[in-house]
Amino acid sequence: MKAMGCLVAVLLVIGVVGLALMGSYNNLVGLAQAVDAQWAQVENAYQRRADLIPNLVATVSGAANFEKSTLEAVTQARASVGQVKVNPGDAASLAEFEKAQTGLSSALSRLLVVSEQYPDLKASANFRDLQVQLEGTENRISVERGRFNEKAQTYNTAILQMPARLFAGLFGMKEKPYFKAVAGSEKAPSVNFNFGPSPAPAPTK
């Protein structure tokens, strides 16, 4: 009877520990899924910007004598972004993705700055609308990246705490990398233009 009682006690302990581990594991799975879901939102924001670019290029290319090299740079940068395959759980993959996106941001910034030299283009309703949409998209990207880092922090904190730390590695659960922007990429492309009348030309002598 004593042996039976000890066996029952051991089984109860094992059961309690098993339930605790199961609960901890399920919690980590939920947190990991939240990180992945938030990454999808980051990608959606970036995709929105990519979808705006063809219309922007088409609108700008209609301006007489607009620099062809500037348009080509934007088109090539957009194509490079589409070639990057991202695993949000891999720091190197995330860094490559942000590097490509930074290149696209830089190309867009150059295009918009050059556009300042074309008063007729700046006065176009289509161009102004695209600028507003780009500005809103940059804000969305910033917000979604911040939320991604928040989700990753919550997951990383949970995975490093006991008892999850004891078994997480056995199930292939690793820390999620944070979204670290390339230096300078925190500056979104400038889309704030002065749509007032163009300065009068200098008088000829």
Domain range summary for the chain, segments of one domain joined by +: 45-191
Whether residue 195 is predicted with pLDDT greater than 50 in this model: the reply is no
How confident is residue 192, by pLDDT bands cut at 50, 70 and 90? very low
3-state SS assignment for residue 189? coil
The whole-number average pLDDT for the span 136-165 is 89
Here the tokens at position 169 are 């590695």
Split at pLDDT 50, 70, 90, the class of 62 is confident
Q: What is the mean pLDDT of residues 65-84?
A: 89
Q: End-to-end distance of the chain based on CA atoms, in angstroms?
A: 116
**pLDDT recorded at residue 51:** 93
Average of per-residue pLDDT across 133-152: 92
Which class for 74: exposed (0-12), middle (13-18), buried (19 or more C-beta within 10 A)?
A: buried
Q: Quick check: pTM over 0.85? A: no
* Band of residue 77 on the pLDDT scale cut at 50, 70, 90: very high
